[in-house]
């Protein structure tokens, strides 16, 4: 999918925001939802998505809302580091299919890195064990 196009309200993140699809929630406020990635590249891989938007990518998102979105990303990143004692953290965001975007609702990945563990392929395997995701989400939420 290119960078231009119409927002698909049937995308999985839109369904999650409407309560039509489940997620393992870490935190939520009026502006964002943070939850575990079902296809994690590392233990604790999570996402932050903005609410009340049809922005498919960063370029479509209102500039005056970026501060709120990235404040939530920073909050989640700090909690991930504290909860999981990781050695580093990747914060990344993809725009368009050629860049690696697979869900066309603006989202930011927070991926813990551990010095002795390689990253797993994203969206290439089977979904993670939900009990493991819930345990990780609980630890991260407690670190907020």
Q: What is the mean pLDDT of residues 37-43?
A: 95
Summarised one tens digit per residue, pLDDT across range 79-94 is: 999 999 999 999 999 9
For each of the domains in the chain, give its residue range(s) and CATH number, in order of start.
12-142 (3.30.428.10)
| Banded pLDDT at 124 (limits 50, 70, 90) | low
Establish whether 109 is a catalytic residue. no
Looking at residue 107, its pLDDT comes to: 98
Partners of 109 in the β-ladder: 47, 92
Above 90 in pLDDT, residue 12?
yes
Q: Which CA distances in Å does 77 have to 59, 84, 97, 112?
A: 23, 11, 25, 8
| More reliable by pLDDT, 65 or 119 | 65
Looking at residue 122, its pLDDT comes to: 78
Query: Which among 107, 109, 122, 123 is annotated as catalytic?
Result: 107
């Amino acid at each position: 999918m290119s960078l231009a196009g119409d927002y698909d309200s049937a995308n999985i993140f839109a369904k999650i925001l409407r309560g039509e699809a489940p997620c393992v929630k870490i935190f939520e406020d009026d502006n964002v939802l943070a939850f575990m990635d079902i296809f994690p590249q590392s233990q604790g891989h999570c996402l932050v998505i903005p609410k009340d938007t049809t922005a498919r990518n960063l370029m479509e998102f209102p500039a005056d809302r970026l501060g709120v979105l990235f404040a939530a990303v920073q909050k989640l990143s700090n909690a991930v580091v504290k909860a999981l004692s990781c050695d580093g953290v990747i914060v990344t965001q993809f725009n368009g299919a050629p860049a690696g975007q697979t869900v066309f609702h603006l989202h930011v990945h927070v991926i813990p890195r551990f010095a002795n563990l390689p990253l797993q392929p994203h969206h290439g395997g089977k979904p993670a064990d939900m009990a493991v995701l819930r345990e990780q989400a609980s630890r991260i939420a407690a670190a907020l």
